[in-house]
Amino acid sequence: MYPAGGSCIELVTVYNQGEASVSAWDWCRSVTFKASVPIDSAFLNTYSDGRTSAYTGRVVKTSAATNTWAADLYNYRTGGWDRLYTQSGTTQARYDGWDIYELYSTVGSSGRSGSCDAMSGITFESANISVRTNGVWAAASPANSDTGYDAPTSAFYCPTRTYRMVNAYDHWLAVG
């Protein structure tokens, strides 16, 4: 998830060789991951509602004067937001805002992604996607979003995976 408006931070769920984390990518200074928290039982006890493994995150501008941004995770135990990372400066991102499903994996000689088997049966989902404009949150819609980043299933080189918009603009689902 990377908000429009020159954000310094992208909030990412990372799956890497059996390990999962929620990480902040710095787009203004380092252009690399700068903060990370593992998705483990402690994470789930704090950042999920206890019924699912879903978490709620946000990236918000905290100072327009310095273009400072913060990535936060919603803490279900305290009912507040926990800061994961903050950064300011000028973004080096080439595009302006997204909430997408991306897959980076080696592709074998068969044309199949090496991650297909590891992701088999796993669902990736982003729901209740909201956009903050002039300090007001609203559901992603044709008025404030587009579907330019939607990619066909074939783009992931994994024929057993499917991707679809459940509700255009504010809810997508990828299933293996």
Residue 23 is predicted with a pLDDT of 96
Does the pLDDT value for residue 152 go beyond 70?
Answer: no
- Our CA angle for 25, 136, 10, nearest 5°, is 5
Residue 21 is predicted with a pLDDT of 94
Question: Which of residues 27 and 140 earns the better pLDDT score?
Answer: 27
For the stretch 80-134, pLDDT in tens is 999 999 999 999 998 778 877 777 788 889 888 888 877 788 888 888 888 888 8
CA distance 86 to 59: 9
Instruction: Give the type of residue at 54.
Output: A
Please compute the mean of the pLDDT values over residues 27-42 and round it to a whole number: 96
Cβ–Cβ under 8 Å, residues 90 and 146: no
What is the pTM assigned to this prediction? 0.84
Tell me what percent of the residues of the chain surpass a pLDDT of 90: 43
Which among 47, 64, 65 is positioned nearest to 56, based on CA atoms?
47
Does the pLDDT value for residue 10 go beyond 80?
Answer: yes
* Gyration radius of the chain's alpha carbons: 17
Residue 98 is predicted with a pLDDT of 82
Residue 147 is predicted with a pLDDT of 74
Residue 16 is predicted with a pLDDT of 81
CA distance 78 to 73: 11
Residue 145 is predicted with a pLDDT of 81
Cβ–Cβ under 8 Å, residues 101 and 149: no
Domain boundaries, the chain: 1-98, 101-176
Residue 116 is predicted with a pLDDT of 81
Residue 83 is predicted with a pLDDT of 98
Please compute the mean of the pLDDT values over residues 135-164 and round it to a whole number: 79
Determine which of 12-26, 80-94, 156-170 has the lowest per-residue pLDDT on average: 156-170
Q: Which residues of 72-110 are buried (b: 16+ CB within 10 A; e: fewer)?
A: bbbebeeeebeebbbbbeebebeeebbbebebeeeeeee
